[in-house]
């Protein structure tokens, strides 16, 4: 690795590379320098060093499916292609029975996780969702339930007059195992006013995840990128995640979510390039040195980009999905009917030069 430093002519980049090679933490300024000045091949090498240190040559996936209870939502974020008002022909609102039927479709199939996330429905409270979780657990006790973004949790808990701790404890008692990372968007409050001004604050998102971690409920974290945010705002977002992880150690994975332009009011912006996607994965891997996994959500960016991302710091491709999500297909994602078999995911990973590893929701190897 010392020879790598000889080929880096930029003094700042050489100093940052030396830190990464030695396993030292990089600063916010270092992260900005990587975004602005490092070329893609160097970013791939540096992210690969961190990736190998944390996860070796392994690339993870699981067998999962999604339930999206509704796309009716009290919020109307400018970047969202998913939200539909009541009465819109493209809106939906599943009953408990309809959602249980989705679960039954996987009877006899070797799946380990259901991911439940949707719009913030004005009439569905914590008792409605708690009962749903109980019914799923009664039908399939071994199924890991990863459910409800912090934004959904805030609404259902506050509507019930509970504290965050009380609400999370109630849901855990119903069978909730972990929570996803959605709703984080970008933590900068001035930017949030421009893209999701109705949504709760970034501080509330972080507080809900912190309290979940302290109750033994792990979670993921996300960042919406590729719209009007700056590199400095991306770094600030990741710094706040890194700081919380230092306290709780409760984040399993970080998932950069690419802004997609179809069917929303920010579509005039277009979308950032694959080069920018890979740059973002690489900087995230190096910067978030205490979050163990960086996930490339393949239904969002497509199989080929997800495959390439493994050489830019990512080590998890999510799961088999089995055509059970519409959130990104409605925004113009590459995969309109996302589904991959374990054989297909494994082949994709091997072709990129990595070792496919099936995991459970806690990243235990199966």
d(CA 344, CA 366): 17
**What pLDDT, on a 0 to 100 scale, did the predictor assign at position 322?**
72
pLDDT in tens, 14-71: 999 999 999 999 999 999 999 999 999 999 999 999 999 999 999 999 999 999 999 8
Q: How confident is the model at residue 216 (pLDDT cuts 50, 70, 90)?
A: very high
Task: Say if residues 120 and 75 touch (Cβ distance below 8 Å).
Answer: yes
Return the axis-axis angle of helices 202-214 and 164-174, rounded to nearest 10°: 50
Compute CA 365 distance to the chain's CA centroid, rounded to the nearest angstrom: 20
Token pair of 151 as six digits: 């934004």
Residues paired with 223 in a beta bridge: 256
Lowest mean pLDDT among 210-219, 316-325, 333-342: 333-342
**What pLDDT, on a 0 to 100 scale, did the predictor assign at position 332?**
44
Whole-number mean pLDDT of the chain? 92
Please count the residues of the chain.
366
Q: Classify 146 as helix, strand or coil.
A: strand
Average pLDDT of the residues in 173-186: 97
Task: Say if residues 304 and 344 touch (Cβ distance below 8 Å).
Answer: no
Q: What percent of the chain has pLDDT over 70?
A: 94
**What pLDDT, on a 0 to 100 scale, did the predictor assign at position 331?**
42
Q: Which fold has domain 58-358?
A: TIM Barrel (3.20.20)
Residues paired with 146 in a beta bridge: 115, 178
pLDDT at 291 over 70: yes
Q: Is 85 exposed, middle or buried (0-12, 13-18, 19+ CB in 10 A)?
A: exposed
Order of strands across the sheet that contains 293-294: 219-225, 251-258, 293-294
d(CA 245, CA 247): 5
Rounded to whole angstroms, what are the CA distances from 199 to 74, 152, 204, 232, 266? 9, 10, 10, 22, 17
Average pLDDT of the residues in 221-248: 98
Residues in contact with 213: Cβ distance below 8 Å, sequence separation at least 6, in sequence order? 219, 248, 249, 250, 251
Of 329, 272, 267, 271, the closest CA to residue 297 belongs to: 329
Token pair of 300 as six digits: 């969002």
Around Cβ 347, how many Cβ atoms within 10 Å? 13
Task: Say if residues 136 and 143 touch (Cβ distance below 8 Å).
Answer: yes
Sequence spans of domains, the chain: 58-358
d(CA 175, CA 276): 39
Q: Classify 87 as helix, strand or coil.
A: coil
Q: Classify 217 as helix, strand or coil.
A: coil
| CA-CA-CA-CA torsion sign (76, 81, 87, 91) | negative
Residues paired with 145 in a beta bridge: 114
What is the value of pTM for the model shown?
Answer: 0.93
Task: Say if residues 319 and 113 touch (Cβ distance below 8 Å).
Answer: yes
């Amino acid at each position: 690795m010392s020879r790598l430093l000889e080929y880096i002519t930029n003094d700042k980049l050489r100093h940052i590379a030396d830190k990464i090679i030695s396993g030292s933490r990089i600063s916010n300024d270092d992260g900005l320098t990587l975004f602005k000045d490092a070329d893609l091949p160097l970013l791939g090498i540096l992210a690969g060093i961190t990736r190998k240190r944390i996860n070796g040559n392994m690339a993870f996936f699981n067998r999962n499916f999604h339930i999206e209870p509704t796309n009716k939502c009290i919020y109307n974020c400018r970047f969202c292609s998913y939200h539909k008002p009541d009465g819109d022909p493209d809106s939906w609102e599943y009953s408990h029975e309809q959602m249980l039927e989705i679960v039954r479709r996987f009877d006899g199939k070797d799946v380990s996780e259901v991911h439940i996330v949707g719009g913030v429905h004005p009439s569905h409270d914590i008792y409605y969702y708690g009962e749903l979780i109980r019914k799923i657990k009664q039908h399939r006790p071994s199924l890991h339930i990863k459910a409800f973004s912090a934004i959904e949790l805030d609404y259902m808990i506050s509507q019930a007059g509970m504290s965050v701790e009380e609400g999370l404890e109630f849901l855990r008692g119903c069978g909730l195992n972990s929570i996803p990372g959605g709703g984080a968007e970008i933590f900068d409050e001035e930017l949030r006013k421009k893209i999701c001004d109705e949504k709760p604050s970034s501080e509330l998102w972080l507080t809900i995840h912190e309290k979940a971690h302290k109750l033994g409920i792990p979670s993921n974290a996300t960042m919406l990128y590729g719209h009007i945010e700056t590199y400095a705002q991306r770094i600030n977002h990741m710094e706040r995640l890194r700081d919380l992880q230092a306290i709780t150690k409760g984040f399993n994975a970080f998932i950069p979510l690419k802004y997609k332009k179809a069917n929303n009011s920010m579509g005039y912006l277009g979308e950032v390039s694959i080069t920018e996607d890979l740059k973002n994965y690489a900087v995230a891997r190096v910067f978030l040195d205490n979050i163990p996994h960086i996930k490339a959500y393949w239904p969002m960016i497509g199989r080929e980009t997800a495959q390439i991302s493994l050489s830019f710091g990512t080590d998890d491709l999510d799961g088999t999905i089995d055509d059970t999500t519409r959130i990104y297909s409605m925004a113009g994602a590459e995969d309109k009917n996302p589904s991959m078999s374990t054989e297909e995911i494994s082949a994709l990973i091997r072709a990129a030069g990595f070792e496919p590893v099936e995991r459970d929701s806690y990243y235990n190897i199966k």
